[in-house]
Amino acid sequence: MVRDALLDLLRGADVAFRQVEHGPTRTSEESAAARGEPLAIGGKTLLLKVDGRFELFVLSAARRMVSSRARKAVGARRSRFATEAELLAMTGLVPGTVPPFGEPILPFPLHADRSVLENENIAFNAASPTESIVMATADWLRLARPRLHDYARA
């Protein structure tokens, strides 16, 4: 289960984090409100199919992805968002619950837009629509090890 693997990783790394239980959320705005945190610290994680392979892209929830920039960042010619069915089949997760972690938590390369680095903390749903994690961005960077790019706009 993704949630358990995520919590095991965080606890095993001995990093400080806060778990927040809340009502079901589907959007970044709903999640930020439920956590009582600014939208900008939310780590929005998107699964994209780029040139036939699936990869994860994280950006500040206050930003929007520019697909052409994301393709350029990973050297791809084509991209599209994973369908709900693909996401569910490959991760067991539904939209809005994907944590910003690639391997070993999720079996995909992980990319992050530099907008995530603008905040001291990052918050994200913990593989559940009713549970979130808030942690230091520096700790997330060390554990998640994303490739950094610029593919978001305000």
> What structural domains does the chain harbor?
2-153 (3.90.960.10)
pLDDT given at position 16: 97
38's CB contacts (< 8 A; 6+ apart) are: 32, 62, 119
Query: Is the pLDDT assigned to residue 119 strictly greater than 90?
Result: yes
145: pLDDT confidence band, cut at 50, 70 and 90?
A: very high
- 106 closest CA partner among 58, 151, 51: 58
**Could you tell me if 19 and 126 are in contact, meaning their C-beta atoms sit under 8 angstroms apart?**
yes
pLDDT given at position 26: 83
pLDDT given at position 84: 96
Q: pLDDT (tens digit, 9 = 90+) per residue, 19-72? A: 999 999 989 999 999 999 999 999 999 999 999 999 999 999 999 999 999 999
Query: Is the pLDDT assigned to residue 76 strictly greater than 90?
Result: yes
pLDDT given at position 48: 97
Record the pTM: 0.95
Q: pLDDT (tens digit, 9 = 90+) per residue, 91-116? A: 999 999 999 999 999 999 999 999 99
Q: Is the peptide bond before 104 cis (omega within 30 degrees of 0)?
A: yes
For residues 57 and 55, what is the distance between their CA atoms, to the nearest angstrom? Answer: 7
73: pLDDT confidence band, cut at 50, 70 and 90?
A: very high
